[in-house]
Structure formats: C-alpha cells, structure tokens
C-alpha cells in the first residue's frame, strides 16, 4: 500500500548548505529555488537569519529573498530563532517563518545562546510581527528525539513544548530528528502523540539520515499523521552545533518513496540532475541512494535515467 499523500519540502537552501565548505551565490540559490518550484515542489526552505558569523553559508539569505518574486516568497520558509530575526526577515520580504528552538536546553544554548524557555517566551512577539505582514509562523522543535549533549529526550518534553499556550497561532509544528538517531517506531510514536495530544495543526517531520533511517523515518511520520516531510538534494546538510549529525534525508529518496502526484520519471530525473550538479559544484558527496539507483543500467525501469 502506498503511503498517504504528503508534501515534500526541500530544505537544501537552508539546512542543506549549513556545513558545506563552498559558499553558493545568492543568484545561484534563487535559480535553484526557481528550478525546484518549476519541478512541482509546493514549499521550500530558502535560508536562515542566523548570525552570519555562526552560519556563513546562509549569510546572503536576505539577498536571496530579494531575488525571488512575491509569489515565490509566499511558498518559501525562512529559519528564525528570535523576534529580531523575524523583523530582519520581514524587511527582506519574507512572510513564512520557521521559529526554531530545541527541546533540550543544552542544544538550544549551543544553537541560539539561550534556554528553551527563553526562546518560547519570545515566540508571541514573533507571532505579532508576522501578523503585520499576513505571515505564518511554524514552531520547530529541534532535538525532539536525542540531544548531542544530554542524550535521549523525554517525549513528554516535546509534548509540553508543542502544547505550550504561547504557541497558539502557529498553524504548523516541525518535529526534528536533528541527529538522525531516531528509529521508525520512535518517529511514528512521537508524531502520533503530537497529533493526538497537542493542538491540531499541520505536522512537519524533519529528518536526518545519519543512521540510514531517514526515508524509513519519513514514511513512518507520514503514516502517523505528518503532512510534510523535509529533505535536501543529495542528502546535504547537518547542524554545525550538533556533533554527530550528518546530512538530511535526501530529497531524491523521498521523491522516489512517496511519489507525489506531480512527479513522473522525467521530473524525478530532473531532481536527480539538480542534486548531482549541486553536490559537484560544492565538492560534496552525493548521499542519495535513489540517485545512485537511477544511474544503474536498468533500461526497462522508467525511473532509471535513460542511457546516454
């Protein structure tokens, strides 16, 4: 039986580029975003307002937003962690904000230099600012399963943050396996509890493939009630403040597994091509297993790349 329909959100331009050694110009980022939209992706994560010294690869996010059209920006999420970053994103033209904090205090301090409570206390102001431009804020809970400093995270901690009254007004919640250490059973269990025990809203699952469970975890999340799953081309990505984390689940792998309605073999081949071009340009390994399979000699299988 095919998994329930779900949106695949590509996060290459934010999470995917955080640890790359080579910078990508704003013009190239905007062109990649446009190519992904043209393929059929409904939503993208296009950058971050994190401090440029902390994450240099996303320092040109305001410029990227300026190169996108208003319609494209309306489908583009920007990572923020403070109300001030929301203000800066608004000044750059953003209307979709992913307000992120960590379920574990130790990672939140490493990531944004404050406790999770301090971050949550700032969320209402972020919501107020977003409302001035008709914006949308999704609450992102990083390290929802494990923390690189504290170890396993109690699911109740995630549920308490998800159900915090100060998060009222966030139509989406992102449950993140930041380290890629969760198993499918853990993912389905937590997603199901978030769906059943916290305010009703769209659930996004953000997974990494550190332990090879990225696609399996995404499928488990969808079957448990997630409406969106995140991926990055070529499996790029990782958190600079999370030792032990590797790349995101590959977008190509999610496309092959979930087969969204807009995808056909030609579109899949185009996505594989985008991932190959990007990883080659950045001198990064391409970790997508589906892209590897597509290059195998299998002329009778339509999802395989045509022989050159």
DSSP β-bridge partners for residue 76: 44
Distant-in-sequence, close-in-space partners of 86: CB < 8 Å, separation ≥ 6: 49, 80, 97, 99, 126, 129, 130, 137
Distance from C-alpha of 273 to C-alpha of 115, rounded to nearest angstrom: 41
Q: Verify whether residue 147 is a known catalytic residue.
A: no
Distance from C-alpha of 217 to C-alpha of 212, rounded to nearest angstrom: 9
Catalytic residues: 239
């Amino acid at each position: 039986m095919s998994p329930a329909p779900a949106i695949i959100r590509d996060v290459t331009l934010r999470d995917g580029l955080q640890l790359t050694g080579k910078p990508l110009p704003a013009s190239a980022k905007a062109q990649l975003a446009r190519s992904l939209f043209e393929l059929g992706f409904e939503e993208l994560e296009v950058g971050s307002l994190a401090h440029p010294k902390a994450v240099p690869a996303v320092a040109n996010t305001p410029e990227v937003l300026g190169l996108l059209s208003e319609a494209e920006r309306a489908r583009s999420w920007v990572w923020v962690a403070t109300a001030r970053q929301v203000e800066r994103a608004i000044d750059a033209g953003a209307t979709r904000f992913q307000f992120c904090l960590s379920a574990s205090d130790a990672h939140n301090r490493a990531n944004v230099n404050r406790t999770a409570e301090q971050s949550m206390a700032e969320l209402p102001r972020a919501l107020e600012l977003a409302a001035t431009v008709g914006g949308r804020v999704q609450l992102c809970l990083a390290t929802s399963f494990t923390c690189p400093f504290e170890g396993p995270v109690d699911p109740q901690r995630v549920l308490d943050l998800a159900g915090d009254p100060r998060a009222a007004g966030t139509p989406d919640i992102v449950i993140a396996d930041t380290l890629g250490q969760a198993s499918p059973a853990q993912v389905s269990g937590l997603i199901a509890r978030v769906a059943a025990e916290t305010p009703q809203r769209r659930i996004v699952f953000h997974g990494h493939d550190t332990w090879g469970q990225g696609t399996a975890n995404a499928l488990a999340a969808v079957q448990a009630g997630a409406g969106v799953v995140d991926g990055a081309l070529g499996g790029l990505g990782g958190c600079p403040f999370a030792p032990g984390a590797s790349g995101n689940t590959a977008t190509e792998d999610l496309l092959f597994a979930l087969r969204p309605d807009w995808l056909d073999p030609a579109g899949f081949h185009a996505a594989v091509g985008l991932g190959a071009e990007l990883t080659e340009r950045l001198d990064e390994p391409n970790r997508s297993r589906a892209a590897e399979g597509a290059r195998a000699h299998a002329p009778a299988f339509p999802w395989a790349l045509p022989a050159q």
